[in-house]
Chain A
Amino acid sequence: MLIPVLIGMSIITFSIVHAIPGDPAKAILGDKATPEAVAQLKESMGLNKPMIVQYLDYVKGIMTGDLGTSFITKTPVAEEVGPYLAATMELSLAAMLIAIFFGMNLGILAAWKHNTKLDYTAMVIAIIGVSVPVFWLGLMEQWVFAQDLGWLPSNGRIDPRMAFESITNFYFLDALIQGDLEAFGNALQHIILPAIALGTIPMAYIARMTRSSMLEVMSSDYVRTARAKGVSEFLIIYKHTLRNAFIPILTVFGLQMGLLLGGAILTETIFSWPGIGRYVYEAINNRDYPVIQSGILLIAFIFVIINLIVDLLYAWVDPRIQYGKE
């Protein structure tokens, strides 16, 4: 699965990127550049070769770990993408944790108190959650919690005045390794608002999926058996029912996590979060082909990996699913 998806992705991104109107050489040199200078730059960037040759060069590069060199910064993409990728992964993970925690509990509550006011309230929250535009929610958060109340910072990953040296580009990991609790707390404050903005939509999806999946399992025979054994309601819900209801929920986790990685651009822009979304967004403005191509390919790669992990988790959740056996 992995290889064909990546080949497909590389062809699609390559085609779309080259279909964007505008000339990177002109974008770099500006409007007043002479046609000779533009032609020369194109030559040096390899843009005058036939498309198919450009594509094959690009694929050859990827095979050897070379993701191309940015037209603008002149640094290899593989070198400069690290911090952006780490920032996005950190934000997506935080958003996903919030989405999973609140989404699942909301869904469980709704299923447990099926057809009561609690159920309706939870589902109204979920519907609002999927309908609220991320940019509006982000701005509201900044307005209320950062500006009015002043509880939380509104942008960046960490207070730039802090003497903080990052090694892995994952700030939380670094802070823990260095035992710097102050930096950890500061990074935590910075991530809360963007993570909530980003996690709201997946939270709503997870809540709805959890509710319907739980309801289905709750009317099953084995849940009745558990009740007949005298098992408490709490264990019935969180052990017997949830474990069985988990497979469809897990699928939603995987898909939503992928969407978070790619869809973080808005949140990253609002909260000045230096992530891969903004990195690619700026590259698109600059017609920086290698950055766009490789950035999108990396996001696709992570998406595929996450879904592979989800597939493997199925087998762990449900013993009836086994890979490579039988």
Chain B
Amino acid sequence: MTKTLLEIEGFKMHFHTDKGVVKAVDGIDITVGEGEIVGLVGESGCGKSVTSLSVMGLVPTPPGKVEAGRIQLAGRNLTQLNAKDWRQVRGNDIAMIFQEPMTSLNPVFTIGSQMIEAIRQHRKVGKTEARERAEEALREVGISRKGILNEYPHQLSGGMRQRVMIAMAMVCEPKLLIADEPTTALDVTIQAQILDLMRRLNREKGTSILLITHDLGVVAEMCSRVVVMYAGQVVEETDVHTLFRDPKHPYTMGLLRSIPQLDKRSERLYSIPGNVPNPRKMPTGCRFAPRCEHVHEICLQSNPPLFEIAKEQHTSRCWLHDGEEKEETDRDRTREIVGS
């Protein structure tokens, strides 16, 4: 197994609003290894984006508040950094690209000045050298057009802007790149190019990527491991092959069933019934219970923990897998007895 780069442990980010506490992220554990691409999947409003912004320290506090847990990057606890230390981490150790390339670049500054700013924020280099580095970074993402540095964002297409965003994110060679739905706003052909580009950067530079998406197709193409989130919690985590072949959590199954398939004729595309629960009034039991086909008595009474399934590396937050965990703990207990 690779060395762990990012480790999110029992992390809770709650928002204290006038109308009550919104538990946007409610106790999640996610790890990203060095050089690994991990997918973070879930519906809108499940806490994906808040998770990613928390890792960047970009959640405004207040109203946001870290209630519990840690976010560790290469052994350094990020949740305790002050504003100045955060600025050194952002853009340098962790970089981020966003969903909307059309609005993510500042319209009144040239591409060059925005890239040079990113470089000189973290590297003590002169303007000329920064310019060269910016050109180099743009070449790496496939933009070699002369004079691009003097152009303004409105002169570029969406795909080009996302390339510029990636170049800008990669310019200080961060250990971790967080990509928050990087291809959602782009055409399908451009999507493929951008995904290709990210995969190449991952391979060549060894940058770990936390890819946030609701597109399982993108996950299948890019990631080695997948974390599925629902209502602020991780509901299933496994490697990408197992996820598609043998999903365990009913929510994941529902997600997979709602992908249109070319080889099967169906009248209507499947959709998971119901809606995401109101984050101010979470169900007492399992958060997915009101929408679940396999709902039992116990599901309505208490929220299941993450059960380990069969072998390592596959967890599911569902009472259906309770027995399998017991098996695990029984074995552990036997081992303990044998050991003593």
Contacts and interface: CB of A to CB of B under 8 A. Distances in A.
Contacts of B260: none
A249 B277 CA distance: 43
B87 interface: yes
Interface residues of B, number: 30
For B56, B83, B105, B117, the residue with the greatest tally of chain A CB atoms inside 10 Å of its CB is: B117
Given A230-B87, A231-B121, A232-B87, A225 B108 contact: no
For A225, A227, A228, A231, the residue with the greatest tally of chain B CB atoms inside 10 Å of its CB is: A228
B103 A318 contact: no
B121 A220 contact: no
A229 B58 CA distance: 11
Contacts of B169: 228
Contacts of A319: 107-108, 152, 154
A230 B121 contact: yes
A278 to B, nearest CB: 42
A23 B83 CA distance: 73
A248 B73 CA distance: 42
Contacts, number: 71
B199 interface: no
Given A230-B121, A317-B108, A220 B83 contact: no
A229 B90 CA distance: 6
B117 A225 contact: no
B107 A318 contact: yes
A226 interface: yes
Contacts of A317: 108
Contact of B106 (A225, A232, A233): A225
B98 A229 contact: no
B73 to A, nearest CB: 14
B107 A230 contact: no
Given A220-B103, A222-B106, A318-B108, A231 B58 contact: no
A227 B57 CA distance: 9
A229 B152 contact: no
A233 B83 contact: yes
Contacts of A221: 98, 100, 103-104
Given A230-B121, A233-B83, A243 B91 contact: no
Contacts of A228: 56, 58, 90-91, 95-96, 98, 169
B304 to A, nearest CB: 35
Interface residues of A, number: 21
Contacts of A233: 83
Nearest to B93: A230
Nearest to A223: B106
B106 A226 contact: yes
B285 to A, nearest CB: 36
Contacts of A226: 106, 117
A220 B90 CA distance: 18
B25 interface: no
B220 interface: no
Contacts of A229: 90-91, 95, 117-118, 121, 168
A225 B152 contact: no
Given A230-B88, A233-B83, A320-B154, A240 B95 contact: no
A244 interface: yes
Nearest to A226: B106
Contacts of A318: 107-108
Contacts of A49: none
A228 B98 CA distance: 10
Contacts of B96: 228
B56 to A, nearest CB: 6
B276 interface: no
A113 interface: no
Nearest to B110: A319
Nearest to B95: A228
Interface in A213-248: 220-233, 240, 243-244
17 contacts: A223-B106, A224-B58, A224-B98, A224-B104, A225-B165, A229-B91, A229-B168, A230-B88, A230-B121, A231-B117, A233-B83, A240-B106, A243-B106, A243-B109, A317-B108, A319-B107, A320-B154
Interface of B: 56, 58, 83, 86-92, 95-96, 98, 100, 103-109, 117-118, 121-122, 152, 154, 165, 168-169
Interface of A: 220-233, 240, 243-244, 317-320
Given A225-B98, A225-B106, 5 more contacts: A220-B103, A225-B105, A225-B165, A229-B117, A318-B107
